[in-house]
């Protein structure tokens, strides 16, 4: 098949600047290159100038330039003349440019990555099957134009059953909704060498708890720090917060990060903020730790960080939100988000005092993580596309 991939318009593909959705696109493009399944064109914002071209016989890239003075002026004019957008002006301009190009092409299918609002304008420029790959809870009974979006989408591929059930709240949802769990590069996590504890400010005898991910309010990092402060009688338990406020951005001036640092004041020897860490280095940071925590205060659509922690061999404490239990398959210790601050210390001390439980959770998590291999994910993704194409 000749397929167009319409990316989310925030970060470039290939995923040279990170991004969960962008990494997942890279995985299935890599799989397609290996198996020569389809002729694929990826529509993406332009990556930095230093990024090498990655075109192959079955993978092509159409880039929309966003950063130059000329393109900033074009975007400004677009914003002035288009007041009824579905998303913000940056994303609106990206899709506007993509749709102009798609109008002149003939595709068998267009995969719309996580932007259901663009199913309707897309349907006006192409006769291709529109398939929505949904990574977040962006399409449910309360979504603007939900019924109309469902009418033009041939199928929806969701990253979890949790998201699948949310789509199913729409009375006229597509009959073809398939769950394809996300994948990760297991070899990165299985084979990573841990960072030097001393270089990070830890002692060899420390019991290290790691949070990895974006440092945003919905991720529960503030609640985690508040809960951690109750462990003042255990000076050898340390907390490492790995991540920044947004992919690659400096976080020193971010008000929320500043509030976290204020919350952690007086515990600088026990709470370490690493700032943004490139994705390829994350496994080495996880390998330093004894326990991982996923303290999300929102409904996680999948929680890649949970799968990554299990692949790194860590027992996990997580809030029971969204797809957390689905992904962990009840391997993690789960806490209700409303009682996280009160119950975290009890759960953590249980692991701290029970090495055998840590070992058994580690072994079970490693076994479960094999289900999230990027190759399995890509194969299941293309099987879901094929099942619709053969209808």
**DSSP per-residue codes, 41-96:** EEEEEPPPTTPPP--BTTEEEEEE--SSHHHHHHHHHHHHH----SS-HHHHHHHH
In angstroms, rounded to a whole number, what is the distance separating the alpha carbons of residues 139 and 146?
7
Q: Are residues 171 and 200 in the same domain?
A: no
Q: Are residues 68 and 176 in the same domain?
A: yes
Q: Are residues 17 and 127 in the same domain?
A: yes
Question: What's the confidence (pLDDT) of residue 246?
Answer: 55
Q: Are residues 65 and 93 in the same domain?
A: yes
In angstroms, rounded to a whole number, what is the distance separating the alpha carbons of residues 3 and 112?
11
Query: Quick one: CA dihedral 224, 225, 227, 232, positive or negative?
Result: positive
**The domain spanning residue 303 has which CATH number?**
3.40.50.2000
Question: What's the confidence (pLDDT) of residue 49?
Answer: 78
Q: Are residues 171 and 140 in the same domain?
A: yes
Helices 89-102 and 69-81: angle between axes, nearest 10 degrees: 100
Q: Are residues 169 and 203 in the same domain?
A: no
What are the φ/ψ torsions at residue 113 (nearest 5 degrees)?
Answer: -85, 100
User: Within the chain, which residues score under 50 in pLDDT?
Assistant: 247-250
Q: Are residues 166 and 206 in the same domain?
A: no
Structure tokens belonging to residue 17? 């600047």
Domain count along the chain: 2
Enclosing domain of residue 101: 2-183+373-389
Structure tokens belonging to residue 56? 């192959």
Q: Are residues 165 and 127 in the same domain?
A: yes
Q: Are residues 362 and 304 in the same domain?
A: yes
Residue 124 DSSP label = T
In angstroms, rounded to a whole number, what is the distance separating the alpha carbons of residues 108 and 382?
14
How many Cβ atoms sit within 10 Å of the Cβ of residue 61? 19
In angstroms, rounded to a whole number, what is the distance separating the alpha carbons of residues 95 and 278?
28
- Cα of 102 vs its chain's centroid, Å: 27
Residue 133 DSSP label = E
pLDDT per residue as tens digits for the range 140-165: 999 999 999 999 999 999 999 999 99
Q: Are residues 154 and 209 in the same domain?
A: no
In angstroms, rounded to a whole number, what is the distance separating the alpha carbons of residues 124 and 103?
9
Question: Do 18 and 278 meet the contact criterion of CB atoms below 8 Å apart?
Answer: yes
- Kindly give the pairing relationship between strand 316-319 and strand 333-335: parallel
Q: Are residues 173 and 219 in the same domain?
A: no
Listing DSSP states for 220-267 in one string gives THHHHHHHHGGGTT-TTEEEEEE--SSTT---TT-HHHHHHHHHTTT-
Question: What's the confidence (pLDDT) of residue 248?
Answer: 47
In angstroms, rounded to a whole number, what is the distance separating the alpha carbons of residues 126 and 61?
18
Question: Do 86 and 118 meet the contact criterion of CB atoms below 8 Å apart?
Answer: yes
Burial class (CB in 10 A: 0-12, 13-18, 19+), 57: exposed
CA proximity to 207, closest of 226, 235, 228, 230:
235
- Which parts of the chain fold into alpha helices (H)? 20-35, 69-81, 89-102, 119-123, 146-152, 161-167, 186-191, 197-200, 221-228, 255-263, 282-286, 304-311, 324-328, 340-352, 355-369, 374-389
The DSSP bridge partners found for residue 42 are 5, 61
pLDDT per residue as tens digits for the range 341-383: 999 999 999 999 999 999 999 999 999 999 999 999 999 999 9
Contacts of 74 (CB under 8 A, 6+ apart): 93
Q: Are residues 22 and 149 in the same domain?
A: yes
In angstroms, rounded to a whole number, what is the distance separating the alpha carbons of residues 278 and 248?
8
Question: What's the confidence (pLDDT) of residue 343?
Answer: 97
């Amino acid at each position: 098949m000749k397929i167009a991939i319409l990316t989310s318009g925030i970060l470039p593909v290939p995923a040279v600047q990170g991004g969960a959705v962008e990494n997942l696109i890279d995985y299935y493009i890599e799989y397609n290159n290996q198996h020569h399944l389809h002729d694929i064109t990826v529509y993406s914002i332009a990556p930095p100038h230093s990024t090498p071209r990655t075109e192959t016989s079955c993978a092509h890239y159409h880039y929309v330039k966003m950063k130059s003075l000329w393109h900033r002026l074009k975007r400004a004019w677009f914003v002035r003349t288009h007041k009824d957008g579905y998303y913000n002006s940056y994303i609106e301009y990206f899709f506007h440019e993509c749709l102009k190009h798609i109008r002149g092409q003939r595709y068998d299918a267009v995969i719309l990555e996580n932007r259901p609002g663009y199913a309707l304008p897309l349907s006006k420029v192409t006769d291709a099957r529109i398939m929505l790959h949904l990574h977040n809870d962006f399409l449910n009974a309360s979504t603007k134009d939900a019924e109309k979006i469902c009418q033009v989408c041939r199928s929806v591929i969701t990253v979890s059953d949790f998201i699948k059930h949310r789509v199913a709240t729409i009375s006229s949802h597509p009959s073809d909704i398939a769950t394809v769990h996300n994948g990760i590069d297991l070899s990165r996590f299985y084979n990573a060498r841990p960072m030097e504890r001393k270089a990070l400010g830890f002692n060899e005898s420390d019991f290290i708890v790691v949070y990895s991910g974006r440092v945003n309010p919905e991720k529960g990092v503030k609640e985690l720090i508040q809960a951690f402060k109750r462990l003042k009688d255990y000076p050898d338990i340390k907390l490492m917060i790995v991540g920044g406020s947004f992919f690659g951005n400096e976080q020193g001036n971010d008000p929320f990060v500043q509030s976290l640092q204020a919350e952690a004041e007086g515990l600088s020897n026990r709470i370490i903020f690493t700032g943004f860490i490139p994705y390829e280095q994350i496994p080495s940071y996880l390998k330093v730790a004894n326990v991982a925590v996923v303290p999300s205060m929102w409904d996680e659509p999948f929680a890649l960080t949970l799968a990554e922690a299990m692949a790194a061999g860590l027992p996990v404490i997580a809030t029971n939100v969204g797809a957390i239990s689905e992904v962990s398959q009840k391997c993690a210790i789960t806490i209700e988000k409303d009682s996280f601050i009160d119950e975290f210390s009890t759960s953590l001390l249980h692991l701290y005092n029970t090495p055998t439980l840590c070992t058994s959770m580690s072994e079970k998590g490693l076994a479960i993580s094999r289900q999230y291999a990027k190759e399995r994910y890509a194969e299941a993704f293309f099987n879901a596309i094929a099942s619709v194409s053969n209808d």
